[in-house]
Structure 1
Amino acid sequence: MPPSSSVTVSESNGLTFLDVSNSFASARVSLFGGHILSYVPKADGKERLWVSPHAYLNGERPIRGGIPVCWPWFSDDHGREKGALPAHGFLRTQVWKLVSSEDTEKGTTITLSPSFTRAEGFENDCTVTMVIAVGEILEVSLITENTGVVPFNFNCALHTYFQVDNIQHTQINGIEGDYKDKLDEWTLKPTPMPYTITGETDRIHLAPIEKAEIEVDGSVFTEVFSQGNDSLVVWNPWQGAASISDMDPFGYKHMLCVETSLTQGHTLAPGESHTLQQNIVPQ
């Protein structure tokens, strides 16, 4: 089935890209990883997603930036020694296929599916579908359905890198409660108020937070709505970016990860499905 009129297919360095342009916004999706790389609403023409200028865009490694898909585990929570299996699962390093695309009154809807959902560390019968709706807002839904005869447990995340002008002039609103601090042996700590980023940050907020705001220079730039999550992850490597091969040493100044996540384990019975959804709302 050919793509809809708002979708253009292109190839570069062995990767296939879908470029969306409609009256509401433009977006770019890589079929490698089922990875959203750009979202620019036409109302203000400002990019909402950050991609590292040193990102691998040749299929050799996961893409740094945009919206990586973590599934069926988050980070190294796969029950084996760290590094024994790919961090964040195996969907972000395989080629997805375009199932369908459609132009609607609200924009463009694209449906993708990965090449496979069974691999070492996760050998259950299921389907995974990602639905991307590009319009005045960006809606991303990751749908997991148990097609087998036994229940299984999984985690997942939409690991979104948001573009900010200056991380030192950025504040997050709407997050409350406790978080686990990966940088301090997973110690449980209260959410800071006001929530600013002043150093390396890697936190799992243990609540199904539905709305967060990214405020830059005193004005809300982007709202983040989450559904189907049990956590919200906040990450910025700060000066540790210098040790990350596919990041600019100063790239941390212009990005902030706010990740709609399922990190505490979710069990799907046979025939059940789960939708993890993140809506990116420009302001």
Structure 2
Amino acid sequence: MRVLVIGESGQLARALQRTMPAEHEVKFWGRAQLDMQCLAEISGKISNYQPDCVVNASAYTAVDKAETEGDQAYAVNCEAVKVLGEIAEQANFKLIHISTDFVFDGAKSRPYTPADECGPLGVYGETKLQGELSLLKACPAACIIRTGWLYGRAGKNFMTTMLGLMQQGTDLRVVCDQVGTPTSASHLAAIIWKAVGRHQSGTFHFSDAGVASWYDFACAIQSQGLSQGLLKSPVKIQPVFSEEYVTAARRPSYSVLDSRELERSLDWKPVHWQQALDGELIGLREIKQ
């Protein structure tokens, strides 16, 4: 199958590169190959490439900056996604689009299902939601996979940022009242490759198993980082409430996702986030060696 992955340098794209199956002919396009803010370029270049499947792993993800850069976020997360949907519908190729837990307001106390009502709290979440709606209107057969708390051995993310600060000996203050599920980029990549070979359409959720706060996640990174020799000594990690850590954009206080539908349809055995973290840390250690 001829697969085009939009996104080249992000943590998910790099996980997709590392795990891509040999049976597919895969191309990765970064910003140099495709400017997602140039709608005419999107249509022309993808039509010329003639893919069997497109995976959209690109997005405007600067959650706080989106509050003041709404036009840019909207262009990438909504307008470009709509164009992708229109091309997919016209050319009849499979389209897999990655979305976010930020489409929810976090008011629930049970895992969110794909059918739950959305209510984004900020501009980033709103642009991602509008992108989903525009995509399904243009291409009802598209596959949307929402995820959250994504991290991995490559790129800038919570795990690599925390490890860097811990290696510097910096004591940390980490939010303890925002709850979700840390999700390995490697596992999301594996799910995407499974979806490439199946006839999935509609909106789905994917995360690793279990529940954690950012504070829990930071503590686990330190504990497992020490065990694996990535850290020499512990730092103090202090739990703080969201009101003490003010950001431009509001975050959902609860964004655990119910992934059971996608797990069943793709024969995926859930992995607890702490086990997944161990795997990503092992991968990071191998890179550093």
Please report the TM-score for the alignment, with normalisation by the length of structure 2. 0.31
Higher helix share: 2
Q: Which has the higher contact order (CA 8 A, sep 6+)?
A: 2
Higher strand share: 1
Please report the TM-score for the alignment, with normalisation by the length of structure 1. 0.31
